[in-house]
């Protein structure tokens, strides 16, 4: 195999081959799915490993904490370490973590394993900036959008897939199968991905310190992160609350029917390449306005029909598709925008961006559960409406600006 070494900002006229885009999109989807496999299996895992009802939630929480820490402390290494080696090493860590989860004899080791699953899953956020480096600016949005569509499909399909697989191979088999998939993926990425050696020659401590300055001084990054935090908090609220709502007496759906409902949300992944093309054409502002508006309107749709009717269920499905479409669109627009700020900062910028809206998602899940407990769907959905509406209000204060740049002195 002959390695291709990429410069920090390659002067390329051609885009990535379609086969490479498909590979990177598939890799992102398969890796991102690792974060979500355990969510519908938490009850089964807890019963076998002896979790108390109060501690079962740690299965999901520790995975998310690991992912958040990985965004802040591992993803920035993409500006410092040769990218292919870093990505493959992180995927190898996922293999060990997934095997640890599959073989864990008790709760303590299982929690350590899922924490490491969360950390290793940030490999997806190393792949996206690398793809941006490998693509000319005029096509960057389209390529990033295509790759992000794979990530969103992985997120939306992970829960129903793990539920179905667990019926045949138990929950341990789900983790073992994912470990095998990661092993194949690591080999394929090592053989087919080009190398990219960053120009940065910073110490790791200096790299982390620079992130604070980037977060504090980069207005475009701040705004795009807050827009997406408002959207992702609504997204997380919706997908935390709707399984409870659909299984309630209002609809009384089975777990299989709820899993089918979740599949509808995967349709939103088609928004990613569309959003990328809009960004490449300079339509970021109107597309952002449309995405934030659609995110808010999606919750209003659920109030049109009487609760529990066939029409209300149909509108809930439409709301899921619209919301996922809006969230995916805004995500791609945000990443496309921050990737214009400088090649040497892309991994750090992406880590800050993702960590910020990921925290918004965690807050949305917590607030959604609280609102549903006290005010059922009415309270949760109005809160869901308010979150993207707040992002829209912030967006309306934005002024047009010239091309942004970053200088760290």
Together in a domain, 308 and 256: yes
Domain assignment present for residue 135? The answer is: yes
Instruction: Give the mean model confidence (pLDDT) for residues 210-236.
Output: 92
Q: Give a yes or no: residue 408 inside a domain.
A: no
Q: List pLDDT tens digits, range 26-41.
A: 999 999 999 989 877 8
Q: What is the mean pLDDT of residues 314-321?
A: 93
Q: Are residues 17 and 80 in the same domain?
A: yes
Express each pLDDT in 123-154 by its tens digit: 998 998 888 888 887 788 888 888 888 888 88
Tell me, yes or no, whether 115 and 25 share the same domain.
Answer: yes
* Rg of the Cα atoms in the chain: 21
Query: By residue range, what is the domain housing residue 330?
Result: 202-398
Whole-model pTM: value is: 0.82
Are 194 and 206 contained in the same domain? Answer: no
Domain termination residue (choose one: 150, 174, 198) = 198
How far is it, in rounded angstroms, from Cα 291 to Cα 316?
18
Q: Of 198, 232, 260, which one is at a domain's C-terminal end?
A: 198
Token output for 381:
């959905």
- Check residue 127 and give its pLDDT: 94
Give me the mean pLDDT over the 301-328 stretch.
92
| Residue 2 predicted with pLDDT over 50 | no
Examine residue 4 and state whether it is found in any structural domain, yes or no.
Answer: no
**Based on the domain organization, do 316 and 344 belong to the same domain?**
yes
Q: How many residues does the chain have?
A: 409
Question: What is the average per-residue pLDDT within 359-383?
Answer: 88
Per the domain annotation, does 222 fall within a domain? yes
What pLDDT sits at residue 407? 52
Distances 263 to 143, 231, 320 between C-alpha atoms, Å: 24, 20, 10
> Does the pLDDT value for residue 4 go beyond 60?
no
**Residue 63 clears pLDDT 80, i.e. is over it:** yes
Q: Is residue 409 part of a domain?
A: no
Instruction: Single out the residue in 198, 216, 232 at which a domain terminates.
Output: 198
Same domain assignment for residues 272 and 329: yes
- How far apart CA 27 and CA 230 sit, in angstroms, is 27
Residue 86 lies in a domain: yes
Of 251, 271, 249, nearest to 261 by C-alpha is: 251
- Percentage of the chain lying above the pLDDT 90 cut: 46
Judge if 59 and 144 occupy the same domain. yes
Res. 61 pLDDT band, cuts 50 70 90: confident
pLDDT in tens, 138-197: 788 888 888 888 888 888 888 888 888 888 999 999 999 999 999 999 999 999 999 888
Mean per-residue pLDDT, 341-360: 87
The tens digit of pLDDT for each residue in 91-104 reads: 999 999 999 999 99
d(CA 215, CA 235): 24
369 pLDDT exceeds 90? Answer: no
pLDDT band at 11 (very low <50, low <70, confident <90, very high): very low
pLDDT at 97: 98
Q: Does 405 fall in a domain?
A: no
What phi-psi label fits residue 308: left (phi over 0), alpha (psi between -120 and 50 degrees) or beta?
left
Mean pLDDT on 46-58? 79
* The predicted structure's pLDDT at residue 8: 44
Q: Look at residue 7 and tell me if it is in a domain.
A: no
How many independent structural domains does the chain possess? 2
Is a pLDDT exceeding 80 seen at residue 265?
no
Whether residue 53 is predicted with pLDDT greater than 90 in this model: the reply is no
Question: Are 353 and 225 in the same domain?
Answer: yes
pLDDT exceeds cutoff 60 at 409: no
Tally the C-alpha atoms within 13 A of residue 409's C-alpha that lie toward its C-beta.
1
The pLDDT confidence band at residue 15, using thresholds 50, 70 and 90, is low
Residue 339 has pLDDT above 80, yes or no: yes
pLDDT band at 361 (very low <50, low <70, confident <90, very high): confident
Burial of 344 (0-12, 13-18, 19+ CB in 10 A): middle
CATH number, domain of 164, equals: 1.20.1250.20
Find out whether 46 and 56 touch, Cβ atoms under 8 Å. yes
Quick check: 374 pLDDT over 70? yes
Whether residue 314 is found in the same domain as residue 342: yes
Give the Cα separation of 345 and 132 in Å (integer): 12
Alpha carbons within 13 angstroms on the beta-carbon side of residue 160 total 19
* Residue 259 and residue 122 in one domain: no
Q: Do 158 and 230 sit in the same domain of this protein?
A: no
> Are both 285 and 340 inside the same structural domain?
yes
Average pLDDT, the chain: 87
């Amino acid at each position: 195999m002959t390695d291709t070494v990429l410069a920090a900002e390659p002067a390329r006229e051609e885009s990535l081959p379609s086969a490479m885009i498909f590979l990177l999109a598939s890799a992102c989807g398969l890796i991102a799915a690792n974060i979500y496999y355990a969510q519908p299996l938490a009850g089964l895992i807890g019963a076998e490993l002896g979790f108390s009802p109060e501690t079962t939630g740690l299965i999901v929480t520790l995975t998310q904490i690991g992912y958040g820490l990985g965004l802040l402390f591992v993803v920035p290494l993409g500006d410092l370490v040769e990218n292919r080696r870093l990505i493959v090493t992180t995927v190898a860590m996922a293999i060990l973590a997934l095997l640890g989860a599959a073989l864990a004899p008790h709760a303590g080791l299982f929690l350590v394993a899922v924490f490491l699953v969360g950390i290793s899953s940030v490999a997806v956020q190393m792949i996206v900036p690398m793809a941006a480096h490998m693509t000319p600016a005029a096509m960057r949005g389209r390529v990033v959008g295509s790759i992000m569509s794979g990530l969103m499909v992985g997120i939306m399909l992970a829960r129903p897939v793990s539920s179905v697989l667990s019926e045949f191979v138990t929950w341990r088999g789900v983790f073992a199968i994912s470990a095998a998939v990661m092993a194949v993926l690591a080999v394929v990425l090592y053989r087919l991905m080009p190398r990219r050696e960053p120009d940065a020659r910073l110490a790791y401590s200096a790299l982390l310190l620079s992130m604070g300055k980037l977060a504090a001084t980069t207005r475009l990054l701040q705004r795009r992160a807050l827009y997406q935090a408002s959207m992702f908090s609504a997204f997380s609220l919706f997908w935390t609350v709707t399984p409870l709502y659909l299984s309630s007496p209002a609809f009384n759906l089975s777990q299989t029917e709820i899993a089918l409902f979740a599949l509808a949300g995967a349709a939103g992944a088609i928004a990613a390449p569309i959003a990328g093309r809009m960004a490449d054409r300079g339509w970021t502002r109107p597309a952002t306005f449309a995405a934030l508006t659609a995110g808010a309107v999606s919750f209003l749709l659920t109030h049109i029909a009487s609760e529990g009717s066939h029409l209300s269920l149909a509108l809930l499905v439409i709301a899921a598709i619209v919301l996922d479409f809006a969230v995916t669109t805004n995500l791609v627009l945000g990443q496309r925008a921050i990737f214009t700020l400088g090649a040497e900062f892309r991994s750090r910028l992406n880590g800050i961006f993702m960590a910020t809206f990921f925290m918004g998602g965690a807050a949305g899940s917590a607030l959604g559960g609280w609102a549903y407990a006290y005010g059922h769907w009415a309270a949760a959905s109005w809160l869901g409406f308010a979150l993207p509406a707040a992002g829209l209000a912030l967006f309306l204060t934005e002024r047009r600006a010239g091309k942004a740049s970053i200088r760290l002195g």
